[in-house]
Amino acid sequence: MNRQASLALFERDIRSLPSKLLEARGWSMVASEFPRLDVAFRRDGRIPMLLRLNCEDWNSRPPSMAVLAESGGPLTRFPTGGGGQFHSSAHPVTRVPFICMPGSLEYHIHPSHTVDSWDNYRDRPGYDLGGLVTQVWRAWLKVAP
């Protein structure tokens, strides 16, 4: 997909996020300059987390997802438990911990999941950028605080 088309889809997804929803969920849009989308998650009793999406070539390709401290630096402790979406072991390709979930680039390029193509998901509701952030957020709510 060409860069202008990716940018248009990126901006459409960001624009459709109601501010009231962000506030209710404790999300903070830290950066939304294509191709980067940074969303901070906050919830009482939990250590805040920053989800960084690299949306290069969106949505021909799923975003690469990184989990960071709220400051944007590395986490002192990678999330564990919950439904197992957060993998603290090194990804065989990227060599860093990753999010194992359809819709993350790291999932689709993982040797265990290469048969599960992004094309199976990309046009489904819940797999736009807001939907993907929602899924990671729900997973985060279930890991150890």
User: Which of these, 17, 39, 35, lies nearest to 27 by C-alpha position?
Assistant: 39
Find the shortest distance in angstroms from Cβ 140 to another protein: 9
Nearer to another protein, 3 or 93 (CB): 93
Find the shortest distance in angstroms from Cβ 113 to another protein: 9
User: What is the token pair recorded at 65?
Assistant: 């997802």
Under 8 Å between Cβ of 74 and 88:
no
Nearer to another protein, 10 or 127 (CB): 127
Q: What is the DSSP letter of 98?
A: E
In the complex, the residues that contact another protein under the rule CB under 8 A are 13, 16-18, 20-21, 24-25, 82-85, 87-89, 100-104, 107, 124-131, 133-136, 138-139, 142
Nearer to another protein, 74 or 83 (CB): 83
Find the shortest distance in angstroms from Cβ 134 to another protein: 4
- Count of H helices and E strands in the chain? 4, 6
Which residues 6+ apart lie within 8 Å of 94 measured at CB?
A: 106
Q: CA-CA distance, 141 to 83, in Å (whole number)?
A: 10
Find the shortest distance in angstroms from Cβ 112 to another protein: 9
Nearer to another protein, 6 or 13 (CB): 13
User: What is the token pair recorded at 39?
Assistant: 């969303």
